Structure 1
């Protein structure tokens, strides 16, 4: 359909051409203003700038939530995360929150004959109950559609601090079993609370658990000493496996999900990037991420694949400049005039634009015009339906109920969905969105204290009162105009409530049966 027509339009003998490879590169806490290509950042990002010049830069791209687990859940399932309980920020020993029976982003590609791989951060849970890290954990990443996986279970600041490959901890010694807890200390390893003198970087009360590599984390762990990762070589480790996957599958279509850890805390980049940004530790982490983008693109070119690969780069949520560790990021970026969220308000944890408006670049030679800038709203939730369109798959009624095909948007700027919904499940508003954008109107139904967890987010607003913004004239969301437009507030509230209760937004879809999850 769309893929076949596009190939016919751009090359002779398109029917015999290999389907395009797809690479999704997802940063962790990268802000809209962190990219020089967006005209905001002070950090040098030549690889991302080059990617933008060769493809399309979407200026109204959003995550479904402003924190990592829920936004990644939406990316993988095409379903808004607040529709399902248990999709908030997960501990490192949580069970898998994606049903293995569901249609997922990797499964769409896998069932179309693609080789599929997930490399990097996961943070969507593992196993059917509390995972035992001393055994192969199923169901896990492979069971939701990835042929190959090499990942950290959760985040760089959470236990366990080990890599996993296809469901097993890498380099685990049977005589040194792993124990992980998020309720109490286990074992006799030093913690940040008891031994602050052993910490290389100071952290707050939420990051005073077990110390690994001189960094205290969230949670407690003991055992698995031979399996512990080294923070400063993490990106190199992930990149090796990503490049190996590309080389090994260069003769067949593949889907690579590369989920980097930068610039999430703790920021401990490889020494070769120290000071390279001129904007402090967080900036150095962004430079390190940019080098990973360069390495992936160089490998695609070296293997003769870059001309037939759709590359999409984005972030899971907005920036957290100060988030648990005293690495000097906030004062340094303030001094240097770098605004990680660009012109937008707030950051991670917030429904304001700084928390949910993402950098988003797509490159596909012959299909996406180089140097294009498009302002149509799109969402990371749309990736499943887009993959289905790319592979000529028809989604069932309960498949990816909130996902829209955005290939026409990326290739020619066509509108996609009528409105976008947002919300973090951690806020306990029930299975309902907390914000909506329709056209240039943006309504935030609930403004909670969570909007201001990031010290860079500014002065708190009155809690509990809906706020309305006209993004065409007030992209910074400085002026709440709810009082001047009660009819718009009523309309958007009705749209939000109706879509929340229906359990779907895509026409022809239906609510996901909850017994599947």
Structure 2
């Protein structure tokens, strides 16, 4: 299929050539990012996608200001997997979120996955999430990673749906604290949180990355009467509720964009709007129970085959609109296929963050598609939904060709999407050679995904063990004025240099480097115990961001007679590296720590002991160095950089 591009793009060819030859990110004025995700919004549910009745004036206007994709895809036919793919750039079976996640499910987005916010934090980005999370089964619990474990500085979220409905929800959590009952409707509340953060919490001198993931129009649907009133001529109350819910979503999106404009952020903010999968239900409601939730499932696929959960187009093709003033020509329509996992690679490359090379990244940079240029994909578009209809369990698309496989991988369908976008004519029998070609490639991709998939999701962790989340640390105090960040501790002057008091928890004090370490560096530090208790320890620490979970420690566990290195919380000491040693617990230890990012390791030398510890593969730079201890008092010298 030849890409089709509209809206006078040809006349601006010179502008486009110049734009894409420019560097991805102006270091002096790095771009901001907003990823706005609707829930169960069908391909045909917006006015700009042809719905004859639903009013979406804000999104229609937004589409006229950027590029509207006619072939945007979610990465899966259900919610949790699609969300995981946006944050990691990987097809969901690779990253561990192989199914939608009910409360109590053991699956979750693996801590070893590299996410967009984690990748942007070392570049100085502030990160914020508002809305549905749905990437773990144990929400707001130490049992599984939470949004802050995946790189979010600020979050306001629910595990899955707003409860008891979109109206007056009671189950939101903000930064690990339950919010309690709220007044209002879900999408406006979620968008308002993001707007408030932009106005009050963010540092205007730093760029930001925000994900706003609404619950609308997922069940249980409750719409503000003022939006239902727009459809008063429709007799069916379920249709009024559904259509009003989409307009409610549109209104919330418009309010957030208004905030962006009021703060003067429009010109330097990349915004993408999309959905996690196709619409719920049959699209015909339940006329026998007009007031039931089942009668509120009136989402439109725009004539596509299948709906939510399906690997046919209606389950996975969704709205996709991108605006980036000065970079994307207003009013553009592109027929180039894109997918949710592309968001990861696109954001990282625009921002200038490294795209991981130690794992399969399925997503590609979608910016050329904004011009109507086809995208070169190392891995074809691929879908696999665990609760799909048996005959359409998985699918793959290459160019205009799409293959659909049954659950047993025995029966295959073949469609030429360019000519048959409704998937009405199965060409498997008519074109056996093309079917064989597509089948061979499909099975190759299937095997690659399977090898990284859910059979091992729980063991794909640094050091071969499951890292435990660090406890939330309160702000500390620094009486010396030498540290930029102090958490869980107090710092005062001592004979050696500094006394770090962490009697109540683990804690640290960090200094921000003028220039981040991107290759290697060696530091020297002295330390000793200043505690009369059995618990005695002292460590040098470092990391890309000032979060306990993301710091790496190397030092002496004095009370245990051991030197060691580990990542994150003290709870991970057991899965770090270490050696026993016979030393005087009252001695002053002289340690050197080499951070070797080129080879992904740290080397600790203390007394006559040398320890090597493998660093996580996603540690690309070090911005902070400092001192750390756990439930004790320890003295440290000043940190000296040797080389």
- Interval containing the TM-score (normalised by the shorter chain): 0.7 to 0.9
Query: TM-score, normalising length from structure 2?
Result: 0.60
Query: In the alignment, does 2:164 pair up with 1:164?
Result: no
Displacement after TM superposition at 1:93 (Å): 3.3
The question of whether the paired residues in 2 share the 8 Å contact of 1:61 and 1:359 is answered with yes
Task: State the distance in 1 between where 2:164 and 2:314 align.
Answer: 24
Query: TM-score, normalising length from structure 1?
Result: 0.74
Structure-to-structure mapping, 1:411-426, within 5 angstroms:
411=371, 413-417=373-377, 419-426=380-387
Q: 2:53 aligns with which of 32, 39, 42?
A: 42
Structure 2 partner of 1:181: none
Q: 1:264 aligns with which of 218, 233, 255?
A: 218
CA displacement, residues 453-498 of structure 1 (integer Å, 9 cap, x when unaligned) = xxxxxxxxxx963211111221111111111011121111111111
The question of whether the paired residues in 2 share the 8 Å contact of 1:105 and 1:387 is answered with yes
Report the CA distance shift for 1:386/1:9 in structure 2 as closer, same or farther (over 3 A). Answer: closer
Displacement after TM superposition at 1:514 (Å): 5.3
Q: For 2:230, what is the secondary structure of its paired residue?
A: coil
Larger CA deviation: 82-91 vs 316-325:
316-325
The question of whether the paired residues in 2 share the 8 Å contact of 1:311 and 1:364 is answered with yes
Displacement after TM superposition at 1:47 (Å): 0.5
Query: In the alignment, does 2:191 pair up with 1:239?
Result: yes
Structure 1 partner of 2:622: none
Structure 1 gap segments, 5+ residues each = 171-226, 449-462, 506-510
Structure-to-structure mapping, 1:110-149, within 5 angstroms:
110-125=121-136, 130=138, 139-149=145-155
CA displacement, residues 367-414 of structure 1 (integer Å, 9 cap, x when unaligned) = 000011111111101111112211222223234621212122225534
Larger CA deviation: 234-243 vs 53-62:
234-243
Structure 1 partner of 2:306: 346
Task: State the distance in 2 between where 1:140 and 1:428 align.
Answer: 31
The question of whether the paired residues in 1 share the 8 Å contact of 2:188 and 2:251 is answered with no
The question of whether the paired residues in 1 share the 8 Å contact of 2:221 and 2:296 is answered with no
Q: 1:314 aligns with which of 247, 250, 274?
A: 274
Structure 2 partner of 1:254: 208
Structure 2 partner of 1:515: 460
Q: For 1:483, what is the secondary structure of its paired residue?
A: coil
Task: State the distance in 1 between where 2:440 and 2:226 align.
Answer: 53
The question of whether the paired residues in 2 share the 8 Å contact of 1:445 and 1:467 is answered with yes
The question of whether the paired residues in 2 share the 8 Å contact of 1:114 and 1:254 is answered with yes
Report the CA distance shift for 1:515/1:101 in structure 2 as closer, same or farther (over 3 A). Answer: closer
**Higher RCO, 1 or 2 (CA under 8 Å, sep at least 6)?**
1
Structure 1 partner of 2:443: 497
The question of whether the paired residues in 2 share the 8 Å contact of 1:280 and 1:333 is answered with no
Structure 2 partner of 1:61: 72
Displacement after TM superposition at 1:513 (Å): 10
Q: How many residues align?
A: 426
Structure 2 partner of 1:93: 104
Could you list the structure 1 runs, at least 4 aligned residues long, displaced by more than 6 angstroms after superposition: 157-160, 328-334
The question of whether the paired residues in 2 share the 8 Å contact of 1:67 and 1:316 is answered with yes
Report the CA distance shift for 1:51/1:504 in structure 2 as closer, same or farther (over 3 A). Answer: farther
CA displacement, residues 186-245 of structure 1 (integer Å, 9 cap, x when unaligned) = xxxxxxxxxxxxxxxxxxxxxxxxxxxxxxxxxxxxxxxxx3456x53233222211011
Task: State the distance in 2 between where 1:294 and 1:489 align.
Answer: 45
Structure 2 gap segments, 5+ residues each = 1-15, 467-643
Greater radius of gyration (CA): 2
Report the CA distance shift for 1:392/1:504 in structure 2 as closer, same or farther (over 3 A). Answer: farther
Report the CA distance shift for 1:465/1:497 in structure 2 as closer, same or farther (over 3 A). Answer: closer
Report the CA distance shift for 1:276/1:416 in structure 2 as closer, same or farther (over 3 A). Answer: farther
Structure 1 partner of 2:532: none
